[in-house]
Amino acid sequence: MPHSILLMSFGASLVLMVADELPNINVEASCKAVEGFGLAIPHTLESCVQDENAAKAELGQKWTTYPPAVRSRCVAETMVGDPSYVDVLTCLQMAQDVEAIKTPLLGASKIKRGAKSGSPSHR
């Protein structure tokens, strides 16, 4: 039992260390690995590498704007199999969207939500 706790804490510290900086991914190797997956939309090696490099550039600009816990989770989730900057960016954007949904409605939206059906809203 103590060994499992030690391994869990060691693993957690690795993920946290990874999330402090943008991970280093060999995009060409990742793109070659998924090249023959038979995707519905044809995706050449060249376009895959371009997409990955664009995602890496965007992540480089926005990396520190995401909470460290979210960065850690997204890096850990997307490094399984063939790692991808596009997957990391998508994960971070989805986490950001979830947080936006949790934000309470303000202004006119709040008035509409509180109004009874069929009755006009009052200001």
Instruction: Domain of residue 77: give its range.
Output: 24-105
Is residue 75, in this structure, part of any structural domain at all?
A: yes
Is residue 2, in this structure, part of any structural domain at all?
A: no
Is residue 72, in this structure, part of any structural domain at all?
A: yes
Is residue 82, in this structure, part of any structural domain at all?
A: yes
Count CA atoms within 13 Å of residue 82 on its CB side.
Answer: 13
How many domains are contained in the chain?
Answer: 1
Is residue 3, in this structure, part of any structural domain at all?
A: no
Report the distance separating Cα 70 and Cα 96, nearest Å. 9
- 123 residues of the chain, pLDDT tens digit each: 444 444 444 444 444 444 688 999 999 998 888 776 666 677 788 999 999 999 999 999 999 999 999 999 999 998 888 899 999 999 999 998 887 777 776 666 555 555 555 555 554
Is residue 117, in this structure, part of any structural domain at all?
A: no
